[in-house]
Amino acid sequence: MDTFTAGSGKAPLFQADIEEAGYEPGNPIVREVILTVNTGERVGLLGPNGAGKSTLMKGLLGQLPHWKGKIAWNGEEERNSVEGDTSARIAYIPEHPILYERLTLWEHLVLVAAAGSIPEQLFRERADKLLRRFRLHAYKHEYPFRFSKGMQQKTMLIIGFLLQPELYLVDEPFIGLDPGAVMELLDALDEERSRGAAVLLTTHVLDSAERLCDRFVLVHDGGVAASGTLEDIRAQSECGPEARLFDCFHKLTYYDEARL
């Protein structure tokens, strides 16, 4: 089984031991994967198209029809199946925005605050700061359903940050946002790190992943092809001490197959 551990001796903030997961029994998409995220850590879940990254994220959120595994928070097992309350500790920021057609941006935020039991005053402070940070303050009484793609993505970011969860699951955050919004996203993640919140993110933008993430899990064909720090990945890919993540990724996922 592939593992991904911090080696600090302390139980990780979050650990998922996934035996198998998929869309129907008997046809697992992902097998034998252990994902570990420590307090304040940023882990990049990387892999080629179709490797199983989104499937893994859906599994962590309890949204897969077939899921066999265990999830633990701070070393304590939370659930044996997908029916636990894990999702209450996670904010999921999807690649494709999920929005209600008939709710304004502000009404979306009110709904999320109510679901997350955020006290009124705290909600207003957080919402105001986030709306200004992501430049959507002027649009708060408009319908996100009619926003541009990037504005919709920012709406999902605001919703996620509003909750201040223990763990952020972020699916492909770098595509679709303008450079200013990416900077604000990185700053907001820095602030969240100082609060102790952790991030598990998927992306194909490997330069950004290399700068942002402390560790990586490289998924290939539904299993873990390599994991650890950039140095670990360099060693596992035998790409040399100066290699970029991009080169390691290519060697571990495409190189051999391209030569078959």
Ligand X SMILES: Nc1ncnc2c1ncn2[C@@H]1O[C@H](COP(=O)(O)OP(=O)(O)OP(=O)(O)O)[C@@H](O)[C@H]1O
Q: Summarize as ranges the residues that interact with ligand X (CB under 6 A).
A: 23, 29, 47, 49-55
- Give the shortest CB-47-to-ligand X separation in angstroms: 5
Nearer to ligand X, 29 or 199 (CB): 29
Rounded distance between C-alpha atoms, residue 115 and residue 170, angstroms = 20
Measured from the Cβ of residue 116, the count of other Cβ atoms closer than 10 Å reads 15
If we measure between CA atoms, which residue out of 160, 192, 171, 201 comes closest to residue 37? Answer: 201
Determine the residue type at 85: D
Nearer to ligand X, 27 or 117 (CB): 27
- Give the shortest CB-3-to-ligand X separation in angstroms: 20
If we measure between CA atoms, which residue out of 223, 167, 169, 200 comes closest to residue 19? Answer: 223
Nearer to ligand X, 21 or 159 (CB): 21
Distances (CA, A) of 116 to 62, 72, 119, 160: 18, 21, 9, 11
Measured from the Cβ of residue 252, the count of other Cβ atoms closer than 10 Å reads 21
If we measure between CA atoms, which residue out of 235, 169, 50, 43 comes closest to residue 226? Answer: 235
- Give the shortest CB-222-to-ligand X separation in angstroms: 7
Task: Using the structure block, give the residue that is written with the tokens 């502000």.
Answer: 106
Determine the residue type at 48: P
- Give the shortest CB-213-to-ligand X separation in angstroms: 16
Nearer to ligand X, 23 or 255 (CB): 23
Nearer to ligand X, 142 or 221 (CB): 221
Nearer to ligand X, 171 or 184 (CB): 171
